[in-house]
Amino acid sequence: MQMNRRSLLAAAASFATLRQAAAQGASTELKISLNAPYDGSNAAFFLAEQRGYYAAAGLHCQFDTSGGAVESTGRIGTGVYDFAFTDINVLTDFAAKNPDKAPRDVFMIYYRSPLSVITFAKSGITKPAELVGKTLGASITDGAYRLFPAYCQATGLDPNAVKWKFVDLRLRESLLLRGEVDAILGFDSTSYFNLVKAGAKPAEVKFLYYSDAGLPLYSNSLAASKKVIDTKPDVVGRFVAASAQGWIDAINDPAAAIAALTKKDSLTDSKLETDKLKWVIEHQILTSESRANGLGAVDETRLAKSIAIVQQAFELPIAPPADQIFDARFLPPAEKRKLPT
């Protein structure tokens, strides 16, 4: 998906707008927590950085890796970090328990949840009912495990009909490769690329998606701390606009995004990370909803249903209103968020 002339002109116009805003003041230092180590799933931020979108907006950004959504959400929950690329379901959990310091989602990126049951074709598991009597590998703190009861409810699966083997997140794929479990729970791209990197044949890796069971969950998104929203709302708008342009560019030209990632981390496996970014674009970002409404926005009815599912599965004390989880005030104009057709 190379950038066409229209995309290039739009990027240039957006860049000029950001530069004009930046001219109004000195550079602002920001700390951003990523969703993982540097990889294809977060390469768009480095493309925005390399193309000068943050500098043009008067921002100097420090992007730090993390161990996942729980860590990245906690970082903005304390106000130590300004923004995080994190999972809105984990953010909902944090917000329900810490309403006074809850961060807010400001830009949606993953419209289809990556949460899934991952297995090999040889297991014979092709539908939820075939999980009965099987052993699943999971991490107790992981969202895929915590939302598994919702998946069971949606599919009619008895949650007590499966057996468990709990491990650290980084060991799930090893369990599956060694045949110690029949399937694992997690993000599709994370497990798929870990398995393939370890020698599994791509065609052998199979998924049962939570979304295919009818769970209307959103996923990874850009969130802002309460502190930066309350004290520097203009900075939030500028950071979101610059990041949005980076993501649109990355969707149009994944290779450019991975080239920017490689400059950030010289040990990057360019082919693997390009494949990972393309996977995320195809499986998580490009949906009928995102194409219709543009990248970044959410459907409030869908989000409210998602929050109710998270409340029940996580046994939260309250279900925060959708407008207290997602703050749409900082979205760039729709024409600047339009996805390629």
Q: What angle do CA 339, 321, 214 make, to 5 degrees?
A: 60
Backbone angles phi, psi at 99, to 5 degrees: -60, -30
- Domains detected in the chain: 5-112+218-336 (3.40.190.10), 115-213 (3.40.190.10)
pLDDT at 64: 98
pLDDT at 26: 73
Smallest CA-to-CA distance from 117 within 17, 52, 259, 213 is with 213
Residue 268 has pLDDT above 70, yes or no: yes
Only one residue has tokens 């917000």, namely: 95
Residue 15 has pLDDT above 60, yes or no: no
Residue 29 has pLDDT above 90, yes or no: yes
From residue 137, alpha-carbon distances to 13, 117, 293, 312, 313 in Å are 48, 10, 37, 22, 19
Residue 13 has pLDDT above 80, yes or no: no
pLDDT at 8: 45
Pairing of strands 163-166, 104-108: unpaired
Is 129 in contact with 158 (CB distance < 8 Å)?
no
Residue 12 has pLDDT above 50, yes or no: no
Confidence of residue 2 (pLDDT cuts 50, 70, 90): very low
Q: What angle do CA 139, 39, 112 make, to 5 degrees?
A: 65
Residue 148 has pLDDT above 70, yes or no: yes
Residue 5 has pLDDT above 50, yes or no: no
Confidence of residue 340 (pLDDT cuts 50, 70, 90): confident
User: pTM value?
Assistant: 0.91
Pairing of strands 59-64, 104-108: unpaired
pLDDT, tens digit, 9 for 90 and up, residues 255-266: 999 999 999 999
Average the pLDDT over 43-50 and give the result: 98
3-state secondary structure of 79: coil
pLDDT at 170: 86
In angstroms, the CA 1 to CA 274 distance is 12
Is 326 in contact with 298 (CB distance < 8 Å)?
yes
**Residues 89-109 as b or e (16 or more Cβ within 10 Å = b):** bbbbbbbbeeeeebbbbbbbb
Average the pLDDT over 59-71 and give the result: 95
In angstroms, the CA 107 to CA 281 distance is 16
Which range has the worst mean pLDDT, 8-17, 154-163, 200-209? 8-17
Tell me the pLDDT of the chain averaged across its residues. 93
How many contiguous H segments (helices) and E segments (strands) does the chain have?
15, 10
3-state secondary structure of 93: helix
Percentage of the chain modeled with pLDDT above 90: 90
Q: What's the farthest any 2 CA atoms get from each other in the chain?
A: 63
Cα dihedral 78, 295, 303, 103, rounded to 10, equals: 10
pLDDT, tens digit, 9 for 90 and up, residues 214-255: 999 999 999 999 999 999 999 999 999 999 999 999 999 999
pLDDT, tens digit, 9 for 90 and up, residues 89-98: 999 999 999 9
Is 83 in contact with 32 (CB distance < 8 Å)?
yes
